[in-house]
Structure 1
Amino acid sequence: MDLDLRQLRYFVAVAEELHFGRAAERLHIAQPVLSRQIRSLEDELGASVFDRDRRGTVLTPAGRQLLEDAVPLLASAEALRRRVSAAAQGAPTLTVGFMPGLVVTPATAAFTARRPGVNVRLLRTSWDDQVEVLVDGRADIGIVRLPIDRRGLQVRPLFQEPRVVMLPVGHRLAGNASVTVGDLASEHLLQDPDAVPEWRDVAVELREGRRREVPAIHQVEEKLELVASGAGVCVLPLSTATFYTRPDVVPLPVADIGPNEVALAWVSSRRSPLVHDFVEAAAETLSRPGGRFPFPQ
């Protein structure tokens, strides 16, 4: 059986929307065409992937399994397309993803010394897409902040760094030398609580089910704007907090919060010698004392 990638893309759109009309609009095709393509896919698979009735559209067990497998398969196909397109340009290229606050120059300089003919490109990532850019081929390797979804990835730890809480300059705790998680328990955290499990486990708002909704935040700058306005607090790695210094926000050490871990990550199935050489260059320059990012610890 040869699966049609176009039909898989159509399936994923319907599975994410759970509505054929909205999925058709998203795909810019007519709804009857979409319905025929899904039926053709079901015939090919020999299984129904959706239950459709007057109440709506839901995934069947087979559909849930297909969605779980289709998303990484489509991402791999996109990664293949990107790599072939890059190879066709002539000069070899290595794209390195990196999180805000991380300085990658020592690693890229060491890599370029090893591979002077390679064009190194940098791609700034976020908590939301630092893994996604590896899977879909936008980046060949990433300098990531853990935790991440490690499925399909090779991960090599580099170092740990402290985390600090960002408070507005007029905050009741802003004058302290440091704070504890207990001091912050009643604060509105402007990020996923799972990213700060120490806070999550003691926070009053979570225990009482009164946690306010956190707006969609895509950049560190947006998060700090909200902190400065008094909308809440956030916890950042020290290097990020130092990189984004501003007068209306105060970084404070948190005595009982764990460090952030920085690591290299790449797709396990990649056998590129360029990826291997960058891993070695980054491990040498970013893990040793004095080779890390130049911020106070």
Structure 2
Amino acid sequence: MDVDLRKLRYFVAVAEELHFGRAAERLHIAQPVLSRQIRALEKELRAQLLRRDRRATELTAAGSRLLEDAPALLAAAEAVRRRVAQAAVGQLRFTVGFMPGVTVTAAVRAMAARHPDLAVDVVRTSWDEQTRVVLDGRVDVCFVRMPVDRRGLRLRPLFAEPRVAVLPADHRLAGKASVGIAELAAEQLLQDPDAVPEWRDLPERLAEQRHSRPRLVANTVEEKLEYVAAGEGILVLPVSVVTFYTRPDVVHVPIEGIADSQVCLAWSAGRSSQLVRDFVESAAAALAG
């Protein structure tokens, strides 16, 4: 049995919204059509995916399992579509994603020298998107900062660098030679806590202080630094990022007792491509040199 990707997209919308009306609006289709498609998918999979009554819609165990696996399937299909479309118009391109603070010039030049007829593009990505751009085919490889969800990926470790606390210039800790992660526990963290496992793992008595206010919405490094400068919170970033985005109203202080930021090269585990293999070799050699 083949899984219908259109029905799978419909299911993901319902599973994320847990509301057929909102999902139908999101998909720009009529609600009765959506309901029929979900019933058809359940019939094809021989499993009930959703429980629905007058008050609520909720996932079954089978539905929860499908919601875990579906995004990877949809991303892989989108990646195939992108690469086929490029090939159809005769484009020989290779796209490299990178996180802020990571310089990819040497690796890109090495790849271009190895393949003179290949156009090598670069795309800046973010913490939330760094693996998604690989899985859905927007980039062929990406320089990612760990930790990441490894599902569907292959990873090649490249280098590591220290992480620092980024504080307002007038912060009480700004003049210290170094700080411990626990000293920052009462501060508002302006980034995804999963990016700082040591912060996430602080004792529960400190967690109450850390979550006393909702996290402000900031998607880019520039936005987050604006909040830091305004005294709204702090960041924990690799030292290369803060030295690249130097500004007089923000300082950085080394943090004791936390692991370095590990940078890896990531590409799709299900893809067999000589160009990807060549770039991995070129990147590793360029960074080693």
Q: Same fold (TM over 0.5)?
A: yes
Task: Give SS of 1:111's match.
Answer: helix
The residue that corresponds to 1:225 in the other structure is: 226
* Aligned-partner Cα distance in 2 for 1:219–1:208: 25
Percent of paired sites with the same residue = 62
Deviations 1:244-280 (A, max 9, x none): 1111100111122221001101111111111011100
The residue that corresponds to 2:127 in the other structure is: 127
The residue that corresponds to 2:265 in the other structure is: 264
Alignment of 1:74-89 (within 5 A): 74-89=74-89
* Aligned-partner Cα distance in 2 for 1:264–1:81: 23
Bigger Cα displacement from structure 2, 131-140 vs 36-45 = 36-45
Does structure 2 retain, via aligned residues, the 8 Å contact 1:18–1:58? Answer: yes
Task: Give SS of 2:158's match.
Answer: strand
Q: CA deviation at 1:13?
A: 0.6
Deviations 1:1-53 (A, max 9, x none): 23221111111111111100000000001111111111222222222211111
Shift of the 176–285 alpha-carbon distance from structure 1 to 2, 3 Å rule, reads same
Which residue type is aligned with residue 100 of structure 2?
A: P
* Aligned-partner Cα distance in 1 for 2:2–2:182: 56
Shift of the 263–209 alpha-carbon distance from structure 1 to 2, 3 Å rule, reads closer
Q: TM-score, normalised by structure 1?
A: 0.92
Please report the RMSD computed on the Cα atoms of aligned residues, expressed in angstroms.
1.6
Q: Are 1:186 and 2:186 matched, yes or no?
A: yes
Does structure 2 retain, via aligned residues, the 8 Å contact 1:91–1:117? Answer: no
* Aligned-partner Cα distance in 2 for 1:58–1:256: 42
Which residue type is aligned with residue 176 of structure 2?
A: N
Shift of the 166–269 alpha-carbon distance from structure 1 to 2, 3 Å rule, reads same
Bigger Cα displacement from structure 2, 231-240 vs 38-47 = 38-47
Task: Give SS of 1:232's match.
Answer: coil
**Runs (5+) with no aligned partner, structure 2:** none
The residue that corresponds to 1:295 in the other structure is: none
The residue that corresponds to 1:39 in the other structure is: 39
Does structure 1 retain, via aligned residues, the 8 Å contact 2:12–2:70? Answer: yes
Q: Are 1:239 and 2:240 matched, yes or no?
A: yes
The residue that corresponds to 1:280 in the other structure is: 281
* Aligned-partner Cα distance in 2 for 1:91–1:269: 22
Q: CA deviation at 1:189?
A: 1.6
Does structure 2 retain, via aligned residues, the 8 Å contact 1:99–1:143? Answer: yes
Bigger Cα displacement from structure 2, 81-90 vs 226-235 = 81-90
Q: CA deviation at 1:233?
A: 0.7
Does structure 2 retain, via aligned residues, the 8 Å contact 1:94–1:119? Answer: yes
* Aligned-partner Cα distance in 2 for 1:200–1:271: 36
Q: CA deviation at 1:132?
A: 0.5
Shift of the 255–65 alpha-carbon distance from structure 1 to 2, 3 Å rule, reads closer
* Aligned-partner Cα distance in 2 for 1:247–1:89: 48
Which residue type is aligned with residue 232 of structure 2?
A: A
Q: CA deviation at 1:209?
A: 7.2
Which residue type is aligned with residue 65 of structure 2?
A: Q
Task: Give SS of 1:262's match.
Answer: strand
Q: How many residues align?
A: 288
Bigger Cα displacement from structure 2, 5-14 vs 55-64 = 55-64
Q: CA deviation at 1:198?
A: 2.6
Which residue type is aligned with residue 238 of structure 2?
A: P
Q: Are 1:64 and 2:64 matched, yes or no?
A: yes
Task: Give SS of 1:266's match.
Answer: strand
The residue that corresponds to 2:163 in the other structure is: 163
The residue that corresponds to 1:21 in the other structure is: 21
